Structure 1
């Protein structure tokens, strides 16, 4: 086995120590890889500093061991791939080949220590549910892979998924083949000749101002209320809403800082919750104003939580109780709850059925209706690139269209200008709907 042949110098040791950040213990890990690159990672223990030093030290020790094992596995997988290429007899070229499906799965193990756990979960889903099964059935080897093989794969997948999903497959395959070239498993990547399918333009559902007002009234007192407010008014993502902590609220400066997220990931077939002091991108880390109406709401939520904390005593979840969005026992609301329950709530209360994420799009739509420029909307929503904001919401941008219409004054010289300025609008008789 390769593991048996690894020398002591090949073993990656992970150092670590505890740091304090806003009253919470953070685990600071660091290690040097085989290429001499120093890597650092900070992971929250979610434990308050007061009275939790031993628990935090235990968590640190366990996390260090887990990372050392994970890095060792990645090192072994990389060595295995290199061995399969280099150590086979030269006259047995076919025996040295590796199925592309096997290569993709081994590549997952290699990159696991280098990416976020949630990102790794997404990669796993793409590779293990779509890419690997298809190419394993075809029996295509990494060394024999062609652009036509990948184009055929895309065409087959488009029969069951949207182009957005195929773009994710494309990104994973591109990264994997780039790695294969770097390690000399193949001479070049065929991705330059692969045609990505045209991505459909996204058009989400948006609530009008009157609908949002009605929704806030309907959701009042419901478990969904806090999530709906943060989604529709502040445009927060699901993970940002569930990950909002009390320490992120400054009642003196009246600000909300988005700096912590709670998301879901599927790792090794298991659905897990991932809490981290990171956001989707650097731009997603942002500070927003705490408006008086929501400030009052948060103070009411705080008082309610203090009541239940005292009422439940030791049964109250003090670890997750640092979050704003919790139940009566202090248990943090799960991200999947919002995704699952919101569409049903909308239907039950006679609103248009939509996804929870559409509240974020509604926020952007309402900002545009209030003549807020797209650049400011980008900053409010925490988009990493202005192009994302422009491409998603430019079709709703009405102010520039009004300016264009006003500029065409020549219409005043036409016969249309002679018509009554405010004619009576006709009452149209719509046909009865045909029931099937």
Structure 2
């Protein structure tokens, strides 16, 4: 039975019923008794009991006709205030971009949703639209989480997503540059605005967000270290790009200190001197909002993450280099480390992976060369 109480207002009794809406927010419904306060308390209390017994919340009334697509949008709106904006952007892309539009066309109600309907959606996405299994797994995570909320709030008797088979995750096989290709790339970007981004990703294996987020206080010239501790990313939320700065990295292990090698120390000192010259040259036109950041343009504006993604393939095309993604430079870094005898555990620490299995799953296939070396050694030793 819904909670409620009597409230006096302008000499009359009102019934106030307290309930939660579909998003879990507390709501009040005021009902006039028409009874003057004087001499009518018992009558008003009787009406209160009756109103509490018979009350049907808008949520209860609407849930009979609530479309699954509308429920997903309501759930997304609720999550907006519970999760980080970067996570919300990911949820929004899945729900508003694909899940809600698909199920809106089917017209299926939340209460009628069955595992077969969700399974058919996955089949359509995989076979008709040609998305990857990993994308469908992302959809599944959103659908299952939303339906779990519906189950907990008694909108549905069980979670149909629990009975759905999600596709198997695609095993990642990235593209990698070898030593010769890396050196050609370094020559191609020398002096270009994208040079620093390429060198940091190729040598230190930095993520794009870590490159853009690198600050001068992360460089310890005295102790020769570079500390990865701040990130800058761009997310699209409802059609608008938002820049998000974080004083933390992707995960706890991503916060790492690495040796500052001589070549990078010299490069960073050159960049620092150039920024001082630019600031002097452009005077009032120079932006002073990002003085603590390393990766800036000539007018002091912080380089945007999107700039790297857009310009990297143009550099490869211009210099007739094999096409890879910018993020593949991070993988190329790992492959070169592995080829030079660095252990998987050391690579995990260098790249800042959260656990060893991540490193092993991505780069295990590259470990073949070390196995071949071992096989040759055993063959010579045992003379089979």
TM tier, shorter chain? 0.7 to 0.9
Q: CA separation in 1, counterparts of 2:91 and 2:105? A: 20
Q: CA separation in 2, counterparts of 1:95 and 1:200? A: 37
Q: Which residue is 1:392 aligned to?
A: 362
Q: Which residue is 2:39 aligned to?
A: none
Q: Which residue is 1:245 aligned to?
A: 215
The answer (yes or no) to whether the contact 2:345–2:356 under 8 Å persists in 1 is: yes
Q: Which residue is 2:233 aligned to?
A: 263
TM-score by length of 1: 0.73
Match of 2:374 among 403, 411, 418: 403
What is the alpha-carbon root mean square deviation over aligned residues? 2.4
Q: Which residue is 2:93 aligned to?
A: 125
Determine helix, strand or coil for the equivalent of 2:81. Answer: helix
Match of 2:73 among 105, 117, 123: 105
Match of 1:231 among 178, 182, 201: 201
| Displacement after TM superposition at 1:358 (Å) | 0.8
The answer (yes or no) to whether the contact 1:344–1:353 under 8 Å persists in 2 is: no
The answer (yes or no) to whether the contact 1:75–1:110 under 8 Å persists in 2 is: no
Q: Unpaired segments of 5 or more residues in structure 2? A: 1-19, 30-54
Give a deviation string over 1:123-167, Cα, whole Å, max 9, x none: 100111100000111111222211111111111111321111111
The answer to whether residue 116 in structure 2 is matched with residue 148 in structure 1 is: yes
The farther-off stretch of 383-392 and 95-104 is 95-104
Q: Which residue is 2:107 aligned to?
A: 139
Give a deviation string over 1:270-321, Cα, whole Å, max 9, x none: 1222222121111111111111110110000000001111222222111122
Q: CA separation in 1, counterparts of 2:155 and 2:56? A: 9
Q: 1:254 to 1:106 in 2, by over 3 A?
A: same
Q: CA separation in 2, counterparts of 1:240 and 1:303? A: 22
Give a deviation string over 1:179-236, Cα, whole Å, max 9, x none: 2222222222122211111222211110001111121122110011000001100111
Matched residues, number: 337
Q: 1:211 to 1:144 in 2, by over 3 A?
A: same
Q: CA separation in 1, counterparts of 2:336 and 2:199? A: 14
The answer (yes or no) to whether the contact 1:308–1:329 under 8 Å persists in 2 is: yes
The answer (yes or no) to whether the contact 1:88–1:96 under 8 Å persists in 2 is: no
Q: CA separation in 2, counterparts of 1:125 and 1:276? A: 21
Determine helix, strand or coil for the equivalent of 2:291. Answer: helix
The answer (yes or no) to whether the contact 2:134–2:169 under 8 Å persists in 1 is: yes
Q: Which residue is 1:341 aligned to?
A: 311
Structure number with bigger Rg: 2
Match of 2:25 among 50, 54, 79: 79
The answer to whether residue 224 in structure 2 is matched with residue 278 in structure 1 is: no
Q: CA separation in 2, counterparts of 1:232 and 1:311? A: 32
Q: CA separation in 2, counterparts of 1:80 and 1:127? A: 25
The residue correspondences of 1:31-180 to structure 2 (distance < 5 A) are 77-79=23-25, 87-88=57-58, 96-158=64-126, 159-160=128-129, 161-180=131-150
Q: CA separation in 1, counterparts of 2:63 and 2:78? A: 22
Determine helix, strand or coil for the equivalent of 1:272. Answer: strand
Q: CA separation in 2, counterparts of 1:86 and 1:78? A: 16
Q: Unpaired segments of 5 or more residues in structure 1? A: 1-73, 414-436
Q: Which residue is 2:157 aligned to?
A: 187
Q: Which residue is 2:51 aligned to?
A: none
| Displacement after TM superposition at 1:88 (Å) | 5.0
The answer (yes or no) to whether the contact 2:67–2:110 under 8 Å persists in 1 is: yes
The answer (yes or no) to whether the contact 2:21–2:58 under 8 Å persists in 1 is: no
Determine helix, strand or coil for the equivalent of 1:78. Answer: coil
Q: Which residue is 1:295 aligned to?
A: 265
The answer to whether residue 200 in structure 2 is matched with residue 254 in structure 1 is: no
Determine helix, strand or coil for the equivalent of 1:322. Answer: coil
| Displacement after TM superposition at 1:344 (Å) | 1.4
